[in-house]
Amino acid sequence: MMPQLLTVRVERPAGRPVRVWVPVLPVVLVFLPVVVLTLLVAAVACLVYRVSVVRALGTGWRVVSALPGTRFDIEHDRTAVLVAIR
């Protein structure tokens, strides 16, 4: 299943944390032309390096399907960025 929601929280030293919810599907629809071009370039690269295109696309889909439940916690000095994929 494709990820549905991306939650980003930025904790700053002064003030309240900023939280942003980004729905994934509308973002994918906006960037669909870029995604199609990227898939075409990936298919050509697979043909050049003699890799099965179907297998490569299947593996890519498995990676995207495994993203829900992933969390990234990045801290630098007194600022923290927390990203959760649902």
Give the pLDDT score at 35: 92
Question: What's the average pLDDT block by block, 10 residues per block, for the chain (86 residues)?
Answer: 90 89 94 95 96 95 93 92 94
- Supply the DSSP string of 8-75, one letter for each residue: EEEE-SSSPPEEEEEEHHHHHHHTHHHHHHHHHHHHHHHHHTT--HHHHHHHHHHHHHT-TT-EEEEE
Please state whether 77 falls in left (phi above 0), alpha (psi between -120 and 50) or beta. Answer: left
pTM attached to this predicted model: 0.73
